[in-house]
Structure 1
Amino acid sequence: MSKEEKEFGGTPGAIGLMIFSHFVPFYFALSLRYSSGGLYCPSSFDGFIENFKETCSPTWSAFFLYTGFCFLQLIFAATLPGLVIKGLPVPTENNRQYTYNCNALSSWYVTLVLVAILHATGLVPLTILADQFGSVLCVAVICSDILSIIIHFYALQTKQTCRMTHSPIYDFFMGVWLNPRIRILGQDVDLKMLAEVRLSWLLLFLLIVSAAVKQYEAFHTITWPMMLILTAQLLYINACMKGEECIPTTWDIFYEKWGWMLIYWNLAGVPFVYAFQAYYILVNSLRTQKPTEGVSMTLIIVCFTVLFFAYYIWDSSQAQKNRFRMKQRGTYVPRKAFPQVPWNTLENPKYLKTECGSTLLIDGWWKYCRKPHYTADICMATCWALSCHQWPGLLPYFYPAFFTGMIIHRYTRDIARCKAKYGKDWTIYCKHVPYAFIPGLI
């Protein structure tokens, strides 16, 4: 892909996406507060401003909650034990290979223990996130915007830039710095991977746990829809943590620059938008005072079944591909992290050799379609939305719709890159694996 090629519609698209990305989480927060998760339509602009101030004004407690969480994860990233993994050679930096201290699993367990202690002692009850959802959201948005500006201009000032288009707004949106790192307590911490793996998904999990605890305190029960969301997120986030050593070779780390798009969505967008279903269930159960009425146990059972099967494909397919790559580079280290699902490592897998020196896996799940993990991800996202069936509405389905669009766009970007990289070998690969998402269909 040429360094001057623009995506997302160039500068106008970048501006539109930044405006839209700021609008969505705040609209959801106001919807939850004033419309029980339904469509929020204020009677006047003054009414909107008043609602916004009441719900989303930043507070010092929200500031210390959010920044304290981020700082703690930064300290954990620098100090806790983990696997040291080498990333891929970076072409724009003379094929330099960065090292990554993959200790997210340690951070995950330590964070869970610390949060449990803080809650049990009453020092920081888990429900504080649910009580201050809008305020913490506002702090996260402000912090992500400020950090984006700092990172952008620091990279320009220190000349740590690559693949720039020299369109200022577009470059700010996509980023100009590929490998942002800081040294803390004698260790290099990769900020992009920290945000990608921990700040986004760990905060999301804590927000959902906060909603579940809030529901339990109100009704002395956690309903099946809330349990479905909690289980789904626990599986997903635990998988991200236990498989962190596979992430340095992924598209986001190897290719995507750390600009506003990744910074904002990892620090603010993902945790607060993706938590919507849990808070939709919470606010409606509090509104009606009937948390279990209208729950379809048949649908819940179907959702749990689809969730577990989709999770298995998602986890095992990514493990197959990443471990295949790591074995070829001689960097594979067997992990004992829980759970290790069956068929996650391929023995003597089939693959295609390409003229550029890379290999393309055509075995395991990857002989059936080119993106099995994308299909599984969409299925899991749909289960999140269906957990809200108790109180029908449109907004719970925003996430699977948004996620599907994002995945398809990401797929088209990946295909363009692969065609440019592999040439005729990509055509041969597509004959071996003709389907993109669902074998026999598409």
Structure 2
Amino acid sequence: MVQPYPFMSQAWDLMGNSHQSGFSPDFHIPYGTQQASQESSAGTYFGSMTMPTVKYQKGDTVMGRWPGSSLYYEVKVLGFDVQSQRYTVIYKDGTELELREQDIKRAAGFQTRSRSRSRSQSPGRRRSRSRSPARTTRRSSSRTAAAVAAAAITDSAPSSRRDIKLKDTLEVRLSPLQQTKAAENNSNNKHEKKEEKQKEENNTASKVNEKIEAKADAEPEKNQGRYNLRRRKDDGEGKPEVQQEKEVKVAAPAPAATPSTPLDFGGKIGAYFWLLFLPAWVLFVVLQGDLEDPSLTNFPPPLPPLEAFWDPQALGFVVLWILFQVLLYILPVGKLSEGMPLRSGERLKYRTNGFFAITVSAVAVVAAVHQGVDLTYIHSRFLQLATATFLISVLLSIYLYIRSRYAAPEQRALGGNSGNVVYDFFKGRELNPRIKSFDLKFFCEMRPGLIGWCLINFAMALAEMKQQELDAPSYSMILVNLFQLLYVVDGLWNEEAILTTMDLMHDGFGFMLAFGDLVWVPFTYTLQAYYLVSHPNPLSLPAVAAILLLKLVGFYIFRKSNSEKNAFRRNPSDPKLSHLKTIPTATGKSLLVSGWWGVVRHPNYLGDLIMALAWSLPCGFSHLLPWYYMIYFVILLVHRDSRDMSDCRRKYGSAWDEYCRTVRYRIIPRVY
């Protein structure tokens, strides 16, 4: 869909991409132009692809070093990025990080001694008494050899060797669940005596070790050690006696703070710029469109007096409109849809009754006009309405930032936790701010601004009839209203698809989305209708037919590609999608390389561009201003494509390179 601004990615890739476009610094592309990053799970790849050899495979449980420290924790491997040569891992507290290979070790490499054994260099607590000395061990592994070497060194090595070993192996305190067994040999009697003495000193050994050792003796074939990461608070349980040795410090629990991703949109300095530029641009569009000659020669438009920006009645109108949409949203009407799993594994529920909301809104507006309400007030107070909505978006953003300070780490977005107040205020810190079951982000994205867009267009049609003394709106105005109404209705009819977009799944809710949803969309996407009120452009019937056909072609491409992608993302094993070819990736998801997604990498962008062209053509070529959306949209999509390429190459590695070789063109076949 149309994104609120060229730099915000918020929109609504109805396909369910990983980076849907919608309303992000790429500006609200109405609900459909979402990211084309190809994520899905499962599929068949008809072709050959060489996958890189990696040391650790997806699903492996290993030990990962916590960045900035020498402490290792148990982690699970989620994937490997060939481009950056880093592994994506997840810690037990849910934290996901990218680690280099040298920061990851196999669990078997973390053999530690219990505290009470620190003075002994016995190779291990063998139960040699349960074996005959003549019974030859079946082990010949490198672990066994290492144990033999350790035993030899222990018998003759000085204490300095023990100190070095202690330093090397116990940077992180791990509780061994399986002790290494030294090779059996003819010196078993000697070791038995040592173990008897050791057993008396080590009367504080944990019950877990005893059980695991017993299991290890019963299964001498197994060569893998298991380890349990023990936190400081757990150490000491079951160890009431005073230790004679200095205890090795236990690693502190991994911090629970939410990790943050690289800064977007120019980083901290960029956040200052966008906070100033976005409101200024909306002001420019509104003032320029109101000029008799809105050409660039009259740039910048003259500023009206300060009192012209404010109208309490306009503020009241906006507040009533938002409250009306809140009422429609909370009514127990429509489907209760389930969102995608969050980092915590939770799946939020959303009331997807957008089509019901716009239907009731349309009936209410028609009834109001029939009762004599003058909706041309929206045209005459367009500047004041924009100012009032901007004020509400700022107040909402302040509230969101304050409440995010008290949000739990798992409730915060990865991209809005830089630690810089301005950047976090702009990008948004909390992922899904809710007041009980009322989801603020979902509501703002789909209701007041989006349906308000249609309300403003309708008011502009009435204003044109009044100002141009027409009995009916012009063909140009009818086309603009019809095209954009179809676009919004389609988005609300397929409202559930937004739940798979980047906006809902990953972006925090801050000024970027609040301003885009409430101000940018309704006051910049209505520019064509606003322009036609004072600058009519008569169209012949053949021209109307050609523009209408162009719109239908764009809409068909847009809807079919989005539906195909969204269906594949939600259920890749659907028999109806069995004809689609895919490329598997190391992340477990797949990239579509057939159907609409085999023609270009962003077929939904192509459909959106064609529709944007159809929106602007009814305004003619007298001025550049009504073509603003088309120009902005081209810049936006090229920027998003570049950003998507970088993100996907980092995420999917060689699989993405293979995909790019298979699908050569990005947006326009044989052109770009």
The TM-score, its normalising length taken from structure 2, stands at 0.58
Extract unaligned runs of 5+ from structure 2.
Answer: 1-97, 99-258
| Structure 1 residue 243 displacement after superposition | 0.6
Specify the alignment match of 1:351 in structure 2: 582
Name the residue aligned to 1:69.
Answer: 321
The alpha-carbon deviation at position 397 of structure 1 amounts to 1.7
Which residue pairs with 2:418 in the alignment? Answer: 165
Matched, 1:38 2:295: yes
Secondary structure of the structure 2 residue equivalent to 1:101: strand
Letter in 2 for 1:428: E
Q: Comparing 155-164 with 366-375, which one deviates more in the overlay?
A: 155-164
CA contact (8 A) 1:180 1:258 kept: yes
Alignment of 1:225-304 (within 5 A): 225-285=476-536, 292=538, 295=539, 297-304=541-548
- Tell me the amino acid that sits aligned with residue 262 of structure 1: L
Q: Distance in 1 between matches of 2:346 and 2:584?
A: 24
- The offset of 1:375, in angstroms, is 1.6
Matched, 1:322 2:322: no
Aligned partners of 2:307 and 2:617: how far apart in 1? 32
Give identity over the alignment, percent.
28
Could you tell me which residue of structure 1 aligns to residue 337 of structure 2? 85
Stretch deviating more after TM superposition (267-276 or 409-418): 409-418
Match status 1:17 vs 2:274: yes
For the residue of structure 2 that corresponds to 1:5, the secondary structure is coil
> In the alignment, residue 601 of structure 2 is paired with which amino acid?
R
The one-letter code of the counterpart of 2:315 is: F
Change (3 A) 1:14 1:299: farther
Cα shift at 1:216: 2.7
**Secondary structure, aligned partner of 2:447:** helix
2:422 partner amino acid: I
Q: Aligned AA for 1:387?
A: P
Compare 110-119 and 416-425 and name the one that shifted more. 416-425
> What's the offset of the Cα at 1:199?
2.1
- Matching residue's letter, 1:84: L
Quick one: distance in 2 between partners of 1:436 and 1:178?
Answer: 30
Q: SS at the partner of 1:158?
A: coil
Change (3 A) 1:80 1:347: farther
Structure 1: segments with no counterpart, 5+ residues: 286-290, 333-344
User: TM-score scaled by structure 1?
Assistant: 0.86
- Report the aligned-residue RMSD: 2.4
In structure 2, how many angstroms separate the alpha carbons of the residues matched to 1:4 and 1:402?
A: 27
Deviations along 1:28-84, one digit per CA (max 9) or x if unpaired, are: 22223333543485899xx6242x543xx2322211211111111122111142222
Q: Is the counterpart of residue 142 in structure 1 residue 391 in structure 2?
A: yes
Letter in 2 for 1:113: V
Distance 1:215 1:435 in 2: 42
Amino acid paired to 2:641 = Y
- The residue type paired with residue 88 of structure 1 is M
Structure number with bigger Rg: 2
Is the aligned partner of 1:191 residue 2:435?
no
Equivalent in 617, 621, 632 of residue 386 of structure 1: 617
Instruction: Number of aligned residue pairs: give it.
Output: 409
Q: State the partner residue of 1:363.
A: 594
Q: Which residue of 1 is the match for residue 303 of structure 2?
A: 48
**1:97-141 deviation line (CA, Å, top 9, x unaligned):** 21222111111111111111111112x333232232111111011
Runs of 4+ in 1 over 6 A off after TM superposition: none
Which has the bigger relative contact order, CA under 8 A and spacing at least 6? 2
2:606 to 375, 383, 395: 375
Q: Give 3-state SS (helix, strand or coil) of 1:144's partner.
A: helix
User: What is aligned with 1:342?
Assistant: none
1:437 CA drift (Å) = 0.5
Please tell me whether the aligned partners of residues 464 and 533 of structure 2 are also in contact (alpha carbons under 8 angstroms): yes
Q: Distance in 2 between matches of 1:319 and 1:158?
A: 35
> Which segment is superposed worse, 76-85 or 166-175?
76-85
Greater displacement, 218-227 / 267-276: 218-227
